[in-house]
Amino acid sequence: MGEPGIMDLRPSVLAAFAYTVVVVAFASYVAWFWLVRNYPPTRVSAFTFLSPVFGVMAGNLMLGEAFTPSLAAALALIAFGIYLVNRSRQG
Taking only the tens place, the pLDDT of each residue in 31-66 is 888 988 998 887 787 778 888 888 888 899 999 999
Greatest Cα-to-Cα distance within the chain, rounded to the nearest angstrom = 58
Q: Which of 6-10, 22-26, 40-44, 72-76 tops mean pLDDT?
A: 72-76
| Distance separating alpha carbons of residues 34 and 82, to the nearest angstrom | 20
| Distance separating alpha carbons of residues 30 and 41, to the nearest angstrom | 15
The predicted pLDDT at position 73 comes to: 94
